[in-house]
Amino acid sequence: MDPNVPLIERVRFLGIYSNNMDEFYRVRVANVRRMMLLKKQRVHGFEGTAEDLYKTIREIVLQQQVKFEETFVVLVEELRKNNIHLINEKQVEDSQVSHLSDFFHSELKHEIFPIVLDKKRDFPKLRDYAIYLAVKMLCSHGKIRYALIQIPGDLSRFVVINREEKSFIILIDDIIRTHLKEIFSIFEPHEISAYTFKFTRDAELDIDDDLSTNFIQKIEHSLKERKKGAPVRFVYDSQMPDDLLHFLLQSLHLKKGLNTIPGGRYHNFKDFISFPKFNNPDFLYAPQPPVIHPDLEHPHGIIPTVLKKDVLLHFPYQRFDYVTDLLREAALDPKVKSVKINIYRIARNSDIMNAILSAAFNGKEVVVVMELQARFDEQNNLYWANRLKEFGVKVIYGVPNMKVHSKLLQITRMNRTKEQLITYVGTGNFNEKTSRIYSDMCLLTSNTQVSQEVRKVFRLLENNLERPAFRTLLVSPFNTRRKILALINREIEHAKKGKFAGMRIKLNNLTDPEIIEKLYQASKAGVKIDMIIRGICCLIPGQKGLSENITVISIVDRYLEHGRFMIFQNDGNPTYIITSADFMERNLDNRIEVGVQVSDVFIQQELDLLFDYQWRGSVKARLISADFLNSYHKRDLPPFHAQMEIYQHFKWLAEGSVDQE
């Protein structure tokens, strides 16, 4: 809704919102539905039953749906002012008919497979990633027929027609609408119309306890069962005739009410993430190609640099290619004996995985800990797990009943008789695609204590027997909660003694009740707490007598703020931590997560600077408040666009290193 965001980016954010809402229903709302079926009366953190919560969610979603539709109308008008006209089948000009007809017959016709609906036949199985046109036909003798058409998912949803200085854009939904009589000509319909709807299923994987099947078989079976998941949402065009709506709901065993969300003409707005560019640079964010890291441009490679000093990489501002380059180096280096990595989400066409395979081809011992329960990436992770095993890579499928969410890589090298460990501890996935849009960081180090403790984590993942002690690392579920609470308690003690006490914390989500209570306790003791929480924040800041020393902002901007780090002031001798864990019960108690204390003084200064820049943000930073307004964080200072300023900082460092050369 922000007019300062480039126009096409605003349209694409509608797609991001829609995609997030789909996942919210498939996971979170589906879980509430399960609680309803279990007749669980109390919902932790909510005053009411699971059914009450379900109704409250629906009310809020309906309010957001209205705002969403209003925003879409505004953006369509903005596009029109820029000579881009979003048209439907009723607005097609005579000069455009031939072009659209050619497109339908050459590209679209053979991609659609209409299904005539009949009460005597079973209703077809619907895919919850798809969008459908529900068709109503009035045929001869007054007979009414219904049909379904699935909108093809392999084609772009948008067709652009350029005419002189104007561009016209039409969705393939509407191109299909213009040809409905042709598609169903066998019925000779007098009247025919179509209305979009989409269908969302419970996406939870139910993994049974059958001891006769292995874990991969259980995952594969669960993925198949996911396609049959119970319905949690039916979103439909509010103009759909009542008889057609009733037929669909009855066929899907739904009732109008809790599960149904009336909306506008178009659904599956996630496709708008790929809205056309129209070759106008003003419509998009200015290009920000990743810059070099001055320390990693060594002519002899990355490994010699990391053996001498710690390096912090910050994506997407700096090149993610360095990670792939490091793996390629390890694959070719005759002194490297082994490569170990743990994978949570990986790109389908992954340079990281190809570099891992290269290490295996070059005779290195390669161990990959592959998390098969990374939600919605299970199929892709299965694909890579099988491919790796084909080429002799040792693949481990995580820890029973616990997701492996840590971001670790370790290379073991022998320099004559001396063992050298090159270690990577990160906040984000080894994923080239998301590294371009997620803000993350990683520490590259050969520090002996850190490296030996990361080795212990890999041993734990490989045999599930060891329960090692960690001094430098924060490893969930073993010591992260205890260490975080101890660090907060230390600040409380400093504050009580009148010493310098404070915390600066940057996370995705803050929901853990025990941590929140401890932060309230710190605030009441006088500890100054600044937090950047991009997503869910269950702590209420700024409440007199409870949290008046706590300020929380959230930055939602061009890049998804995904990096997690903390600075505990400790009376002038700060402790710095980067981690893969949010302050959520699942991250602290039910997943393998790894955080690391940063000891390098220059990297500590870099973390201070990064937090300072984001804390000064006043363009895309919102102040999280008890009234839930979450308005932009306006200050009596010149506007400060944090993400842009951070990029300029890293660009300046890169250009400075080139100038020195």
pLDDT digits (tens, 9 = 90+) for 447-480: 999 999 999 999 998 887 667 889 999 999 999 9
**pLDDT value at residue 441:** 97
Interior CA angle at 329 toward 328 and 331, to 5°?
A: 65
Interior CA angle at 220 toward 214 and 226, to 5°?
A: 135
Residue 267: is its pLDDT beyond 90? Answer: no
Report the percent of the chain where pLDDT is more than 70: 94
Residues 375, 250 within the same domain = no
As a whole number of Å, the CA-based R_g of the chain is 27
Residues 479, 458 within the same domain = no
Q: Is residue 298 annotated as part of the catalytic site, yes or no?
A: no
Q: What is the residue range of 438's domain?
A: 294-468
Structure tokens at 45: 């953190």
In a domain? residue 2: no
Report the percent of the chain where pLDDT is more than 90: 67
Task: State the sign of the Cα–Cα–Cα–Cα dihedral 228, 233, 237, 239.
Answer: positive
- In the chain, DSSP finds a helix count (H) and a strand count (E) of 18, 26
Please say which residue of 419, 442, 468 terminates a domain.
468
How many other CB atoms are there within 10 angstroms of residue 531's CB atom? 23
Average pLDDT over residues 283-303: 93
**pLDDT value at residue 375:** 65
Residues 364, 262 within the same domain = no
In a domain? residue 288: no
Average pLDDT over residues 301-306: 95
Residue 376: is its pLDDT beyond 70? Answer: no
pLDDT digits (tens, 9 = 90+) for 498-511: 999 999 999 999 99
Please say which residue of 283, 315, 337 terminates a domain.
283
Measured in residues, the chain has a length of 661
How far is CA 443 from each of CA 112, 274, 345, 581, 599, rounded to the nearest angstrom?
49, 33, 19, 15, 11
In a domain? residue 122: yes
Burial class of residue 42 (count of CB atoms within 10 Å of its CB; 0-12, 13-18, 19+): exposed
pLDDT mean across residues, the chain = 90
Residues 261, 233 contacting (CB under 8 angstroms): yes
Residues 404, 518 within the same domain = no
Residues 374, 344 contacting (CB under 8 angstroms): yes
In a domain? residue 289: no
**pLDDT value at residue 637:** 78
Burial class of residue 93 (count of CB atoms within 10 Å of its CB; 0-12, 13-18, 19+): exposed
Residues 321, 453 within the same domain = yes
How far is CA 655 from each of CA 416, 436, 650, 652, rounded to the nearest angstrom?
38, 20, 9, 5
Q: How far apart are CA 37 and CA 641, in angstroms?
A: 47
Helix axes 7-23, 50-81, angle to 10 degrees: 160
DSSP structure string for 520-585: HHHHHHT-EEEEEE-S-B-S-TT-TTTTTTEEEEEE-SSSEE---EEEE-GGGS-EEEEES--BSH
pTM: predicted TM-score of the whole model, two decimal places: 0.89
| Sheet containing 166-171: order of strands | 84-87, 166-171, 158-163
Of 595, 575, 405, nearest to 503 by C-alpha is 575
Q: What is the largest CA-CA distance in the chain?
A: 91
In a domain? residue 201: yes
In a domain? residue 22: yes
Q: What is the dihedral of CA 180, 184, 189, 193, to 10 degrees?
A: -30
Binning pLDDT at 50, 70 and 90, where does residue 208 land?
A: very low
Residue 222: is its pLDDT beyond 70? Answer: no
pLDDT digits (tens, 9 = 90+) for 611-657: 999 999 989 999 999 888 888 888 777 889 999 999 999 999 999 86
Residues 298, 434 within the same domain = yes
Residues 193, 322 within the same domain = no
Q: How far apart are CA 128 and CA 22, in angstroms?
A: 9
Of 267, 293, 314, 405, catalytic? 405
Q: How far apart are CA 406 and CA 152, in angstroms?
A: 37
Helices (H), 309-411: 321-332, 351-361, 378-390
Structure tokens at 124: 């077809």
Q: How far apart are CA 208 and CA 379, in angstroms?
A: 18
In a domain? residue 1: no
Instruction: Look at strands 231-237 and 191-201 and give their pairing.
Output: antiparallel
pLDDT digits (tens, 9 = 90+) for 78-105: 999 999 999 999 999 888 999 999 999 9
Please say which residue of 263, 283, 303 terminates a domain.
283
Residue 545: is its pLDDT beyond 80? Answer: yes
Average pLDDT over residues 320-337: 96
**pLDDT value at residue 85:** 95
Average pLDDT over residues 520-539: 97
CATH code, domain carrying 141: 3.30.1840.10
Phi then psi for residue 89, to 5 deg, are -65, -25
Average pLDDT over residues 432-451: 96
Burial class of residue 337 (count of CB atoms within 10 Å of its CB; 0-12, 13-18, 19+): middle
Residue 374: is its pLDDT beyond 60? Answer: no
3-state secondary structure (DSSP) of residue 71: helix
Phi then psi for residue 454, to 5 deg, are -65, -35
Helix axes 215-226, 378-390, angle to 10 degrees: 150
**pLDDT value at residue 212:** 42
Helix axes 351-361, 378-390, angle to 10 degrees: 20
**pLDDT value at residue 354:** 93
Binning pLDDT at 50, 70 and 90, where does residue 265 land?
A: confident
**pLDDT value at residue 216:** 56
Asked if residue 316 has a cis previous peptide bond (ω within 30° of 0), the answer is yes
Structure tokens at 463: 């045999």
Greater confidence (209 vs 284) lies with 284
Residues 103, 189 within the same domain = yes
Binning pLDDT at 50, 70 and 90, where does residue 383 land?
A: confident
In a domain? residue 230: yes
Residues 641, 544 within the same domain = yes
CATH code, domain carrying 566: 3.30.870.10
Phi then psi for residue 488, to 5 deg, are -65, -40
Number of domains into which the chain is organized: 3
**pLDDT value at residue 223:** 45
Residues 460, 482 within the same domain = no
Of 596, 315, 535, nearest to 430 by C-alpha is 315
Residues 251, 299 within the same domain = no
Residues 276, 314 within the same domain = no
Task: State the sign of the Cα–Cα–Cα–Cα dihedral 356, 357, 360, 361.
Answer: negative
3-state secondary structure (DSSP) of residue 128: coil
